[in-house]
Amino acid sequence: MRHRVYLSPGMFGFGQLGSYNYFAHVERELTARFAAAGHELVAHAIDAPPTASIRRRASGLAEIVAQTSEHDVIHLLGHSTGGLDARLVASPATRAIPATTLGWLPRLRSITTMNTPHFGTPLASFFATANGQRVLAALSVLTVAGLSLGAQPLAAASALLGFLRGLDRPFLFKLRLLELAIESMVGIIDDARHPSVRVFLSAIEDDQGSMVQLSPESMDLVVAGFEDRPGVAYQSTASMSPSPRPRRWLETVGHPWRAVSLSLFYALHRLTALHDPRYPCAAMRDTAPWSGDDNEALLTRVFAGTLPLDANDGVVPLRSQLWGRLVWVGFGDHLDVLGHYHDKRAPSTIDAAHRHRDWLTSGSDFGDADLTSLMDAVAAGMLGAC
């Protein structure tokens, strides 16, 4: 049997830029598991407008599925905001997407959300500000450089870190340094990669609707409006990164990039940890009564105790990532779970297509064994839904 999986990115992620596929590791791992089970899997990486509104992104997803799915079984997988795109497309309550692009819904079997802010994230509230928009642009540039080029843009990361540290003080000089660093990195990327990079960055500047929608206050309303589609299996994966410990800082001695990268991640982690008691970014019992107890049991078993509400992966609070059946949870940052983590193997022993690149140091120690268990769980859920 032939299956199709549609992979939707989010936040500062992308589908494919030039020759680099953001979901390359996920695509390879899932394809291998489907083949081992006797099924063919065709993967489609969606080039969604990175920070556009959820409705606009979901409409684009629906069109692509309608144009390419033929008569095959369909699975949707969304990372970060991409998980909300998938849920909106499938929701019986939605009237925001043209019905002419939804004829394939009877063939939809599963929706997988990975580190998705189902109940919002405080970081989105920050990104929606004028200062936050500049940080979002810088993070997007760094992500493209770090993943597609394998670059370690120390100057740009340092400028961004200085900007974040100076938000509570006059920052006109810091702002200019940040803008110069971004311009410098964009020049390097444009020289080395496809013009689609410029389109990607322009899309972030042109439409940041999802940053407003992903705030905890806005998602409080979204949760009330989304409905799960009967007959579709909903599963989620979630992760958290521990706050940097003294040992982690010691490991950065003599490694300027690691020191700046760890500090930058810690700044994002702290912003994400902020929460309003009225909008705690946490799944309520009545939102998913069929799986709430099982999800809590898995969290307790993996993390050996009660977790604070400020636990997060550097971008999304841990408890905001829960929807449907939680099939995998562990230590890892927002990009680790896609295979973007530090590769401990010598570069000379692996080809570039299979190399793992980690541009943001979190200290989560996510590695090959974690990716294997995560992909095992995701693939099992997809296959079990058929």
> DSSP per residue over 243-296, as a string?
PPPHHHHHHTTT-HHHHHHHHHHHHHHHHHH--BTTB-----GGG-TTTHHHHH
Nearest one of 107, 110, 106, 60 to 87, comparing CA atoms: 110
For residue 183, the 8-state DSSP code is H
What value does the mean pLDDT of the chain take? 83
The hierarchical CATH code for the domain 2-124+209-384 is 3.40.50
What are 264-297's pLDDT values in tens digits?
898 899 999 988 888 888 765 444 545 667 888 8
C-alpha 18/C-alpha 328 separation (Å) is: 31
Quick one: pLDDT at residue 170?
47
The helix or strand, by DSSP H or E, that contains position 33, with its residue range, turns out to be helix 24-36
C-alpha 200/C-alpha 146 separation (Å) is: 15
Whether residue 345 has pLDDT greater than 80 = no
What are 194-203's pLDDT values in tens digits?
667 777 777 7
Average pLDDT of the residues in 326-342: 94
Answer whether 110's CB lies under 8 Å from 381's CB.
yes
Quick one: pLDDT at residue 146?
79
- pTM, two decimal places: 0.89
Average pLDDT of the residues in 360-377: 92
- C-beta atoms surrounding 367 within 10 Å: 15
In sequence order, which residues have a C-beta less than 8 Å from that of residue 145 and are 6 or more positions away?
Answer: 151, 153, 156, 185, 188, 189, 359
Q: How confident is the model at residue 238 (pLDDT cuts 50, 70, 90)?
A: very high
List strand residue ranges (DSSP E) for the chain, in order. 2-8, 16-17, 20-21, 40-45, 73-79, 108-114, 233-240, 325-331
